[in-house]
């Protein structure tokens, strides 16, 4: 039934086409975040401010929580012009633009501020022209966050504690390569089915940023959380390039500015929430460990080789050079 519902919505969107009303634009922005997640809060600010600043000339309807399909389907519809805008994961974009997999090179970034300098500077200059080639304009990199490992079996204090655990990851090469390098048994489960899979014990664990673990209440079935920051995930704000071409220069300026503002809001909300969310989960009896990360980093050799092969050695080296140049 869920699949039929999605197909019906998609068919309606195709029939209606992109929303260009006589008196302006009626646009659709879809994303995979829950309505309670910072991504939706930031998206609401974006939509409201764009409508206000364009005097109602651009109205944006939000479709959160995979209502128009999972992350791959949402991105495909943006590239096809069925949906006007999206917040798409870098791992989904990597299926169309390989270099996006470099963002997830494990342990290549020191922390949030370091990642901001890379994504907002040299990475956008590098990636945006490649995104245009596949049918979209890259407005800005919003946040999903640094990813942590949870499981229902035991504390993870060393890489050896990961060995043999069935760990769910997205269908993303860099994520899977990193977990395999630690000895985990990678299982691919769609994001929309993640909560049920955890509750049913289909796998032993999963990896996601703290706000996702908290908002989806994954801690109810995952009693052990390990803070490893092993790689980072972004949500990339995209607009179909044919839609973008129809905006006036002033409208483009407003949209870009409000995307940048929403990007900063989302980062602020996620980072401020992490400490309180960790404290609340601890109060619920969840064990949260922060082990020495060097032994985990030292295991990444096989993952780096797989990532190099996938993205190309030149792309791998370019990311690592950008990371080094922006390190303080």
> What is the reported pLDDT for 23?
61
pTM: 0.88
Give me the helix-helix angle, 2-16 and 71-80, nearest 10°: 10
Give me the chain's average pLDDT, please: 92
β-bridge pairing 85-89 and 24-31: parallel
pLDDT tens by residue, 21-37: 446 899 999 999 989 89
pLDDT tens by residue, 86-143: 999 999 999 999 999 999 999 999 999 999 999 999 999 999 999 999 999 999 999 9
> What is the reported pLDDT for 2?
42
H or E stretch at 206? strand 205-208
**CA-based nearest residue to 243, from 231, 251, 235:** 251
Burial class (CB in 10 A: 0-12, 13-18, 19+), 141: buried
E strands, 228-293, in order = 232-240, 287-289
E strands, 32-184, in order = 58-63, 85-89, 136-146, 148-151, 166-169
> What is the reported pLDDT for 131?
98
- Indicate if the pLDDT at residue 326 is higher than 80: yes
Percent of the chain with pLDDT over 70: 93
> What is the reported pLDDT for 320?
98
Which class is domain 2-143+234-274? alpha beta
**CA-based nearest residue to 277, from 178, 170, 148:** 148
- Indicate if the pLDDT at residue 17 is higher than 70: no
The segment(s) of the chain belonging to CATH 3.40.190.170 are 2-143+234-274, 148-231+285-325
pLDDT tens by residue, 148-190: 999 999 999 999 999 999 999 988 899 999 999 999 999 998 8
- Indicate if the pLDDT at residue 7 is higher than 80: no
Where does the pLDDT of residue 228 fall: very low under 50, low under 70, confident under 90, or very high at 90 and above? very high
Domain 148-231+285-325 has CATH 3.40.190.170: yes
Tell me the β-bridge partners of 167. Answer: 186, 205
Alpha helical stretches, state H, 57-208: 71-80, 90-93, 112-118, 124-133, 173-181, 194-200
> What is the reported pLDDT for 18?
53
Percent of the chain with pLDDT over 90: 86
SS3 of the chain: helix, strand, coil, percent, to 5: 55, 20, 30
């Amino acid at each position: 039934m869920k699949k039929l519902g999605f197909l019906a919505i998609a068919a309606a969107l195709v029939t209606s086409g992109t929303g260009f009303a006589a008196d302006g634009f009626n646009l659709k922005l879809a994303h995979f975040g829950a309505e309670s997640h910072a991504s939706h809060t930031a998206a609401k600010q974006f939509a409201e401010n764009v409508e206000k600043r364009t005097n109602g000339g651009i109205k944006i309807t939000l479709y959160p929580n995979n209502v128009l399909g999972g992350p791959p389907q949402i991105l495909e519809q943006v590239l096809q012009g069925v949906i006007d805008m999206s917040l798409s994961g870098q791992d989904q974009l990597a299926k169309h633009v390989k270099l996006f997999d470099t963002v997830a090179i494990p342990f290549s970034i020191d922390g949030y501020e370091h990642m901001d300098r890379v994504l907002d500077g040299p990475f956008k200059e590098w990636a945006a022209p490649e995104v245009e080639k596949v049918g979209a304009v890259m407005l800005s990199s919003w946040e999903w966050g640094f990813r942590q490992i949870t499981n229902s079996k035991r504390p993870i204090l060393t890489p050896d504690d990961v060995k043999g655990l069935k760990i769910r990851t997205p269908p993303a090469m860099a994520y899977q390569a990193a977990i395999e390098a630690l000895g985990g048994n990678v299982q691919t489960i769609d994001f929309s089915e993640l909560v049920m899979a955890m509750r049913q014990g289909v796998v032993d664990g999963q990896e996601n940023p703290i706000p996702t673990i908290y908002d989806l209440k994954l801690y109810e079935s995952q009693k052990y959380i390990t803070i490893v920051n092993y790689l980072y995930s972004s949500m990339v704000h995209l607009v179909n390039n044919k839609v973008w071409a129809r905006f006036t220069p002033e409208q483009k300026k407003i949209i870009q500015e409000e995307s940048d503002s929403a990007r900063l809001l989302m980062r602020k909300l996620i980072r401020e929430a992490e400490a309180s969310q960790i404290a609340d989960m601890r109060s619920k009896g969840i064990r949260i460990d922060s082990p020495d990360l060097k032994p985990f980093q030292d295991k990444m050799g096989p993952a780096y080789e797989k990532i190099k092969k996938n993205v190309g050695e030149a792309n791998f080296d370019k990311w690592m050079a950008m990371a080094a140049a922006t390190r303080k």
